[in-house]
């Protein structure tokens, strides 16, 4: 045996170092002279080996425990860093939330002030418009009387001036009427009911019969039209303004072509008023719904610039939406979307 030869031993005995069925090594006992080990010696040798194996196992467990402690300490440090990051984020979010709440409070106060100012402006507009009508009609009446009773005494220039007074007074009267209608939309109480769109369109076309005949217009209504949840008078105003515009904004010397139709979804009705007129540039499709917005001169297309603003305000009072699709030079399709029959009752 190389062990005997290397150390000059004549005899040796070995006992395995076992830990959970794993051999960790071998514990040797050696003699320089020939020797036969007794059972007691071998048992003692195994007992020493067992103690050695247990000691090695304890060292291993201690090392494993130390590694676990080191890893736990590292994880704890990392967790502490994350906790500090979360706390920092929480502080930042808290500050942001406080800033947002403060901004919301400022916005709410501003909205209250704006609503109050808006109501004052609406009341002022209504009062001024109402008070202007009496002197304006007096001016218009005197101008009409001047032309009727003394027109023959006026030269051509005088007659032209008188006609300009009459035309300006009429235009001002139209503007005041539109402003009063716009103001009433804010002031009036709106209670919605189920309304027959068919009946409303029929009334509008009867009211516009003179304009339709004068322009030689062709108006097509795709019947039947559905019922909607709305307000009859506001619907007449909405559809009347849209059809009037369709009759007005046409190519020169071209009879208007107007189509009225509707489509129904699950809980909405969308009414369309389609024409083949001059159309609207994409950049102006939102602008035209603002009050006093005009895309053309009065000489080309008369009006006050309030009609579509009235449409938008009336539709909003009914809880609906309004929009337009248009191709310049080929016509426009205005749509009004309202709740269908059986929709929620609106009181505004």
The 3-state secondary structure of 271-299, one letter per residue: EEEEECCCCCCHHHCCHHHCCCCCCCCCC
Give yes or no: residues 227 and 164 share one domain: no
pLDDT given at position 347: 46
User: What's the angle, vertex CA 122, arms to CA 119 and CA 127, rounded to 5?
Assistant: 125
166 belongs to a structural domain: yes
CA distance 306 to 310: 6
**162 and 254 share a domain?**
no
Beta strands 218-221 and 257-264: pairing type? parallel
Q: Is residue 258 part of a domain?
A: yes
Measuring CA to CA, how many Å separate 87 from each of 30, 81, 288?
A: 67, 10, 52
Q: Are 230 and 270 found together in one domain?
A: yes
Burial class (CB in 10 A: 0-12, 13-18, 19+), 341: middle
* CA 19/CA 345 separation, integer angstroms: 84
Domain termination site, one of 165, 185, 205 = 185
Domain with 166 in it: what CATH number? 1.10.287.130
The reply to whether 168 and 204 lie within a common domain is no
**Whether residues 138 and 195 fall in one domain:** no
Is 233 a domain residue?
A: yes
Domain for residue 312, yes or no? yes
168 and 222 assigned to the same domain: no
* Residue 310 near residue 292 (C-beta atoms within 8 A): no
Query: Which range marks the domain in which residue 118 is found?
Result: 107-185
The Cβ of residue 295 has, within 10 Å, a number of other Cβ atoms equal to: 14
Q: Mean pLDDT per 10-residue run, the chain (348 residues)?
A: 70 85 84 87 90 88 90 90 90 91 91 77 66 76 85 86 84 75 75 93 94 93 93 92 91 90 91 92 84 67 78 92 91 94 56
Domain annotation covers residue 12: no
Number of domains in the chain: 2
Q: Which of 141, 169, 185 is the last residue of a domain?
A: 185
Spatial contact of 221 and 239, defined as CB atoms under 8 Å apart: no
**Taking the model in full, what pTM does it have?**
0.57
Residue ending a domain, among 124, 153, 185, is 185
Whether residue 244 is found in the same domain as residue 195: yes
- Residue 346, in any domain of the structure: no
**In terms of domains, do 129 and 205 share one?**
no
> Does residue 275 sit in the same domain as residue 221?
yes
Does 149 map to a domain?
yes
Same domain? For 226 and 312 the reply is yes
Other beta carbons less than 10 A from residue 200's beta carbon? 24
Is residue 114, in this structure, part of any structural domain at all?
Answer: yes
The C-alpha R_g of the chain, in whole angstroms, comes to 48
With a CB cutoff of 8 Å and minimum separation 6, the contacts of 42 are: 13, 15
Per-residue pLDDT, 255: 92
Length reported for the chain:
348
Q: Say if residue 217 is in the same domain as residue 323.
A: yes
Distances (CA, A) of 17 to 14, 40, 220: 10, 18, 106
171 and 289 belong to one structural domain? no
CATH number of 294's domain: 3.30.565.10
- Give Cβ neighbours of residue 12 (< 8 Å, ≥ 6 apart): 1, 3, 4, 28, 29, 30, 31
């Amino acid at each position: 045996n190389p062990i005997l030869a290397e150390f000059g031993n004549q005899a040796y005995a070995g006992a395995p170092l076992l830990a959970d069925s794993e051999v960790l090594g071998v514990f040797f006992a050696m003699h320089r002279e020939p020797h036969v080990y007794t059972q007691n010696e071998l048992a003692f040798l195994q007992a020493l080996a067992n103690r050695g194996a247990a000691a090695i196992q304890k060292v291993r467990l201690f090392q494993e425990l130390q590694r676990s402690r080191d890893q736990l300490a590292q994880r704890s440090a990392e967790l502490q860093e994350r906790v500090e990051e979360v706390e920092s984020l929480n502080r930042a979010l808290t500050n942001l939330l406080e800033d947002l709440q403060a901004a919301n409070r400022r916005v709410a106060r501003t909205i209250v002030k704006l609503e109050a100012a808006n109501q004052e402006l609406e009341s002022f507009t209504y009062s001024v418009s109402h008070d202007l009508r009496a002197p304006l009609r007096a001016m218009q009446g005197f101008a009409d009387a001047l032309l009727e009773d003394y027109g023959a005494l006026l030269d051509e220039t005088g007659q032209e001036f008188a006609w300009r007074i009459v035309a300006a007074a009429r235009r001002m009267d139209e503007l005041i009427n539109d402003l009063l209608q716009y103001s009433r939309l804010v002031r009036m109480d709106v209670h919605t009911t189920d309304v027959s769109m068919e009946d409303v369109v029929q009334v509008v076309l009867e009211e516009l019969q003179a304009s339709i005949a004068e322009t030689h217009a062709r108006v097509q209504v795709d019947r039947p039209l559905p019922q909607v949840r709305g307000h009859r008078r506001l619907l007449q105003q909405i559809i009347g303004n849209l059809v009037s515009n369709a009759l007005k904004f046409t190519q020169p010397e071209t009879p208007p072509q107007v189509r009225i139709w509707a489509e129904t979804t699950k809980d909405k009705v969308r009414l369309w008023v389609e024409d083949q007129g001059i159309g609207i540039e994409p950049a102006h499709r939102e602008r035209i719904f603002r009050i006093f917005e005009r895309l053309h001169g009065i000489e080309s297309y008369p009006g006050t610039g309030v009609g579509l603003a009235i449409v938008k305000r009336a539709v909003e009072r009914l809880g609906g939406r309004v929009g337009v699709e248009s191709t310049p030079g080929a016509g426009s399709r205005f749509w009004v979307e309202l709740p269908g029959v059986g929709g929620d009752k609106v009181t505004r």
